């Protein structure tokens, strides 16, 4: 058991942006919301999966919608607490803890805000090990936790409770509601007990986001190579493999908001020792990377576009022509590489023709 407080938030947001692989919402906005709650209510207790009581009611909370929307339609923050309360009313029981449903972007920080305001802990794990664009793409769903009932709430407190026969239908219905709520909503879903959370969650991911941010900060402070620090850091975790895939200048970004997602592609022209061009396709998150037509990384492995000087992650909604970037690939934990998991959030789930190949085999 440990706590996460104001002093940890900068590192957490920096790391969450990397695990977000371009999506999950802007962690800076989420960090502001979490900081406001912590100033009012104090730090948040972080429970490991092993410390979570078997019979604890654990609920996943966060935001849903296109990341491009949240930088213009900033959440008020109360809506996330309202979403939890709406689901609690439906279940007839209050949550004992909350958990992120994804470990990247703003959705790493939203559970901290909710936990601080409610005075309950956050479980150190999540259902994605990164960020994904759709709600059924969770290890929670892969290993048998129902997504419904689910609460969807807007900034006015208007709410919808969704009941559906499977997680994909929950996603379809919730996406439509979210679009009608302006492109972003607060959600609460995947209610489970602590024993189930231990079985189905990717472990330690919230603590990992803090560590990733710290690796970057400490490397800068000691004038070490930041990318070497990231590669060495991941090697000592259950993510294991990290590789630099490419480095260059952004020469073209095609991006649009469609069906509630930010979709498009980015082209990077090599600089220095890097020749040719890298093409990255994204749907909120970066999905696949090709170097001169050759596959270099593919979902569910992480494809992170970082500023070449600072190693700060650049989310898909903030990609701009002329940025000097370095692309980092990171492997995902084994729980995300099973055949059951790849059926739900492997390449075919995004309409990609390539089969999954791990980055350690490709590079």
Q: How does pLDDT run across 142-180, given as a tens digit for each residue?
A: 999 999 999 999 999 999 999 999 999 999 999 999 999
Both 273 and 239 in one domain: the answer is: yes
In a domain? residue 208? no
In this structure, are 356 and 300 located in the same domain?
yes
CA distance 88 to 59: 9
As beta bridge partners, residue 326 has 247, 306
Could you give the CA distance from residue 230 to residue 219 in angstroms, rounded to a whole number? 9
Clarify whether residues 191 and 293 are in a common domain.
no
Reported as half-sphere exposure (CB side, CA atoms, 13 A), residue 49 has a value of 17
Q: Residue 260 burial (CB < 10 Å; 0-12/13-18/19+)?
A: buried
At residue 147, the pLDDT reads 97
Same domain, yes or no, for 17 and 90? yes
CATH number of 11's domain? 3.40.1610.10
For 204-216, write each residue's pLDDT tens digit.
Answer: 999 999 999 999 9
Question: 344 and 240, same structural domain?
Answer: yes
Prediction pTM value: 0.93
* Residue 45 covered by a domain: yes
Q: Determine the pLDDT at residue 262.
A: 77
Q: Are both 134 and 239 inside the same structural domain?
A: no
Asked whether residue 95 is assigned to any structural domain, the reply reads yes
Say whether both 236 and 191 belong to one domain: no
* Alpha helices (runs of H) in 247-362, residue ranges in sequence order: 339-345, 359-362
Whether residue 184 is found in the same domain as residue 305: no
Domain-ending residue, one of 142, 172, 203: 203
CA atoms within 13 A on the CB side of 345: 32
Q: Identify whether 184 is part of a domain.
A: yes
Q: Is residue 236 in a domain?
A: yes
* 146 and 263 assigned to the same domain: no
157 with 188, same domain: the answer is: yes
Q: Which residues pair with 277 in a beta bridge?
A: 269
- The pLDDT assigned to 116 comes to 98
237 lies in a domain? yes
Give the pLDDT band (50/70/90) at residue 34.
Answer: very high
Taking a C-beta distance cutoff of 8 angstroms, is the pair 150, 171 a contact? Answer: no
Are 159 and 247 in a shared domain? no
The whole domain housing 251 covers 225-362
Say how many domains are in the chain. 2
pLDDT tens profile 321-346: 999 999 999 999 999 999 999 999 99
Residue 300 lies in a domain: yes
In this prediction, residue 24 has a pLDDT band, given cuts at 50, 70 and 90, of confident
Whether 209 maps to a domain, the answer reads no
21 and 142 fall within a common domain: yes
């Amino acid at each position: 058991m440990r706590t996460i407080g104001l002093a940890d938030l900068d590192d957490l947001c920096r790391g969450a942006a990397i695990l977000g692989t371009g999506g999950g919402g802007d962690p800076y906005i989420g960090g502001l919301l979490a900081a406001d709650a912590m100033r009012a209510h104090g730090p948040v207790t972080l429970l490991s999966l092993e410390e979570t009581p078997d019979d604890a009611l654990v609920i996943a909370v966060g935001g849903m919608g296109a990341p491009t929307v949240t930088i213009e339609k900033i959440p008020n923050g109360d809506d996330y607490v309202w979403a939890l309360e709406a689901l609690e009313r439906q279940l007839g029981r209050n949550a004992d803890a909350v958990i992120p449903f994804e470990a990247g972007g703003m959705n790493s920080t939203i559970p901290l805000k909710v936990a601080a305001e409610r005075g309950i802990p956050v479980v150190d794990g999540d259902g994605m090990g990164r960020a994904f664009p759709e709600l059924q793409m969770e290890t929670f769903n892969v290993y048998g936790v129902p997504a419904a009932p689910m609460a969807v709430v807007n900034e006015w407190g208007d709410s919808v409770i969704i009941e559906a026969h499977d997680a994909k239908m929950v996603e379809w219905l919730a996406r439509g509601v979210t679009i009608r709520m302006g492109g972003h909503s607060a959600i609460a879903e995947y209610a489970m007990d602590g024993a189930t959370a231990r079985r189905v969650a990717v472990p330690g991911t919230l603590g990992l986001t803090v560590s990733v941010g710290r690796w970057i900060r400490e490397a800068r402070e000691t004038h070490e190579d930041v990318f070497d620090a990231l590669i060495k850091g991941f090697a000592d975790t259950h993510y294991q493999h990290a590789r630099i895939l490419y480095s260059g200048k952004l020469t073209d970004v095609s991006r649009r908001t469609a069906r509630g997602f930010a979709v498009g592609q980015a082209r990077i022209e090599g600089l220095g020792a890097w020749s040719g061009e890298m093409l990255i396709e994204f749907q909120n998150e970066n999905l696949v990377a090709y170097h001169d037509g050759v596959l270099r990384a593919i979902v569910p492995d992480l494809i992170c576009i970082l500023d070449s000087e600072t190693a700060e992650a650049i989310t898909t909604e903030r990609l701009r022509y002329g940025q000097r970037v370095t692309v980092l690939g990171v492997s995902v934990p084994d729980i995300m590489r099973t055949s059951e998991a790849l059926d739900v959030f492997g390449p075919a789930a995004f309409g990609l023709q390539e089969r999954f190949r791990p980055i350690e085999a490709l590079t």
